[in-house]
Structure 1
Amino acid sequence: MKTLDQLPDGLDPKLCDILDRLASVFVALSHRIARNGIDENLGGAAGLNTDGDAQKALDVIADEAFMGALVNTQVRHYASEEQDSVVTLNEGGAFALAIDPLDGSSNIDTNVSIGTIFGIFPAKDDPKASFLRAGRDLLASGYAIFGPQCALLLTVGDGVLKFVLDPQTGRFVSLGVIASIPPNSVEYAINSSNYRHWDDPIRAYVDDRVAGSEGPTRIDFNMRWIASLVAETHRILTRGGIFLYPGDARPGYEHGRLRYVYECAPIAFLIEQAGGSATDGQEAILDRVPDALHARTPFVFGSKNKVARVATYHDLPHEETSALFGKRGFFRV
């Protein structure tokens, strides 16, 4: 019995099989996360990954579960945030899967929503070349979010589909194509503790939102920050707004901290399919080509008009972005 039903008609059966196997792992992880602390400590330290980030036990468990589920499928190459290099799972397979097996793992023990992010490319003979390419080459992408409700958001290039896990049957039920991202949200998400490290355009953008109705926008805003990319994405797909993770002046943060291959490209594909926009602050993320498997990039996404506004701040003369908000009178939206 399939775990994931009601995929679009005409979708390649080999791709459908991969998506269904991923869904079966989502179900298993959802059950396991719900029992965290009863059977095991999923938030326990498990060393460092290839990029020097701390791993939790569930990071490793999830990575191994996905690799095991994709043996004897059409996934030829497997690139994971938890692996040093590309793993070839099935010689001759037609697809290459990029995956962040467990996004937001620092939140495991706080009971905040966490998830899995994935993107599927057509495979090339060269394992690395299968992933070092523009995000526009993606055939499908999505994420599973493990929270009060386990949901799967998926695109195969024609809108964004939403599925919800029915805990009684262990199957994902289709809720159809979601609505476009709302344009008029007054929410923005950024880690403001890094304010002193940001470039002037990002500071200016945030200053104007903090100023609210007393600043050039004449609008009061609410700030959000969950530190879980899937949770931030889920909120924006549901009610609009904008997410910003810029590069900054700290060593190792010049290009932000989010990975292009496993996180940004798959999320950007979803966001564009939902009528939003995703950039590095100025240029479309999906047009970029990463130079390394674990390459990082600044990431700004959300309602199209909000993301375009950030790019405009980068076009301002230096004296305007470094000045107090009261001297910028050019924005009213």
Structure 2
Amino acid sequence: MTNLSQWLATETNDDKLASAIESMAAAGVEIATVLRQAPIAGQTGLAGATNVQGEAQKALDLISNDIVLKHLRENPAISILVSEELDEAVEMSSQGEVIVATDPLDGSSNLDVNVTVGTIFSILPAAGGLLQKGTAQLAAGYVAYGPATSLVLRIKGATSVFTLASDGQWLLTVAAALVPEASGEFAINTARERFWDAATKNYVKESVAGEAGAAGKRYNMRWVGSMVADIHRILMRGGIFLYPLDSETASKGGRLRLLYEANPMAWLVEGAGGRSSTGQQGILAVEPTGIHQRVPVILGSAEEVARMEDWYRRS
């Protein structure tokens, strides 16, 4: 089977970019090992600190962040690191040619119940500075720590999936993931219904109406509460992920962060034939204004994203 190094050799002739991807992949291998042993090592639970977004940090948030920092500091190709867990960007190498933006451990609220969590990352050219549109990404990916540990990557072509083998190698298991154009699943936190805007309420109402509704088919709802887990399911079998702007998050611009959550996931989903949107424009077209900027996020099967956007036009 093709391993990660062999795949990189065919996907890019940019050695700096390839090395940045390999550094994040190596960090993922180490984080996977830590997560497997965390309950035994007593590393679960809160760390007693909050991040720049005011969110309570888990011990494993900080451990994962430290692992990423270690691997990137060892790589002279990395110019700057932006992390969800750090207030400010961290300068790495003055000679570095790429910027890495990352959520080192997405979905950490699920750690205590052994649900899939992940590491999300985006790689940008250092020459463009910190605040670049998603279209400027050189590559993006995530590691999903589940029953199998998966590395999902896209440079410029297709979105590919690797699986961590017992010898520590990443082996290519899906050369080109394909998000089905249509689907009968949607993922949203329905406990937030009281905050939803009209477009979201109408989309969900139409979906749960099933065959008798305007959508004309039956839907199932899925919600893990870990973005990596929800997006991985959609990447493999279709559906739509919804974290739209609502009355509670409007003052912040949304819930999820643009640089290291929305942009890399949009890059991956679009590379697999899906679509991304804020409800008003494509995610990758959003002009960043800050390294921790938040945006609404709608990702998934093209027909479902288009239906959601239509509700925004009508609302």
| TM-score, length of structure 1 as denominator length | 0.90
Count of residue correspondences: 310
For 2:4 and 2:48, the matched residues in 1 are separated by 31
User: Are residues 1:256 and 2:254 paired?
Assistant: yes
- For residue 112 of structure 1, report the CA deviation from its aligned partner: 0.5
Write out per-residue CA displacement over residues 123-157 of structure 1, whole angstroms, 9 at most, x where no aligned residue. 03xxxx62312100000000000010000000001
1:243 aligns with one of 230, 241, 253: 241
What's the Cα RMSD here?
1.5
- For residue 305 of structure 1, report the CA deviation from its aligned partner: 1.2
Asked if the contact 1:97/1:121 (under 8 Å) is kept, the reply is yes
Question: For residue 147 of structure 2, what is the aligned residue in structure 1?
Answer: 148
Distance 1:25 1:251, change over 3 A: closer
- For residue 15 of structure 1, report the CA deviation from its aligned partner: 1.6
Question: For residue 213 of structure 1, what is the aligned residue in structure 2?
Answer: 211
Distance 1:67 1:309, change over 3 A: same
Superposed, 1:24-103 pairs within 5 Å as: 24-71=26-73, 72-103=75-106
More displaced 10-residue stretch of structure 1: 173-182 or 202-211: 173-182
Asked if the contact 2:249/2:255 (under 8 Å) is kept, the reply is no
- For residue 176 of structure 1, report the CA deviation from its aligned partner: 4.4
Asked if the contact 1:33/1:42 (under 8 Å) is kept, the reply is no
- For residue 175 of structure 1, report the CA deviation from its aligned partner: 2.0
Structure 2 unaligned regions, length at least 5: none
User: Are residues 1:137 and 2:130 paired?
Assistant: no
SS class of match (1:209): helix
- For residue 254 of structure 1, report the CA deviation from its aligned partner: 5.3
Q: Which has the higher helix share?
A: 2
Question: For residue 4 of structure 1, what is the aligned residue in structure 2?
Answer: 4
Structure 1 unaligned regions, length at least 5: 319-333
For 1:239 and 1:178, the matched residues in 2 are separated by 13
Superposed, 1:151-170 pairs within 5 Å as: 151-166=150-165, 168-170=166-168
- For residue 255 of structure 1, report the CA deviation from its aligned partner: 2.5
Write out per-residue CA displacement over residues 196-224 of structure 1, whole angstroms, 9 at most, x where no aligned residue. 11111110111101111222122110001
For 1:273 and 1:217, the matched residues in 2 are separated by 26
| TM-score, length of structure 2 as denominator length | 0.95
Larger C-alpha radius of gyration, 1 or 2?
Answer: 1
